[in-house]
Amino acid sequence: MTDGSVVTQEVRGRTALITINRPEKRNALDRQVRSAFLDAMAAARENDAVRAVVVTGAGDKAFVAGADIGEFEGRSTVEQWRVMKAATIFDAVERCPKPVIAAVNG
């Protein structure tokens, strides 16, 4: 499963397992993670064989630490506002017509 991607996805039977894979940053959500997560959720949503989605975080320290605040440095107020208005992982989970389960560790 670990292939260097910040988000991995695998289908196990009828379940899609999406793993946020930045354990060195306690799975903090940066732009790359958010984009990859949205792609993984879209793939799970569109796959008719998938009946449920499980989301987890890699490592044993945290499920997801939250936003990667290191990204905020150097952003203007307008840039930060645009980031905050973009599609969110919460929107993707809410729009998914399949059950989404958080496998929380840490």
DSSP string, 20-66: E--GGGTT-B-HHHHHHHHHHHHHHHH-TT--EEEEEESSSS-S---
- Residue 29 in any domain: the answer is yes
For the whole model, what pTM was predicted? Answer: 0.88
Q: Has residue 95 been placed in a domain?
A: yes
Q: Looking at the domain assignment, is residue 14 inside a domain?
A: yes
User: Which CATH number goes with the domain that contains 24?
Assistant: 3.90.226.10
- pLDDT tens digits, residue range 28-47? 999 999 999 999 999 999 99
Q: Is residue 55 part of a domain?
A: yes
Q: How many helices (H) and strands (E) does the chain have?
A: 3, 4
Domain count, the chain: 1
1 occurs within a structural domain: no
pLDDT of residue 74: 87
Q: What are 49-95's pLDDT values in tens digits?
A: 999 999 999 999 999 999 898 888 888 989 888 888 888 899 999 99
Which residue range(s) make up the domain with 39? Answer: 7-103
Q: Is residue 2 part of a domain?
A: no
Domain-embedded: residue 64: yes
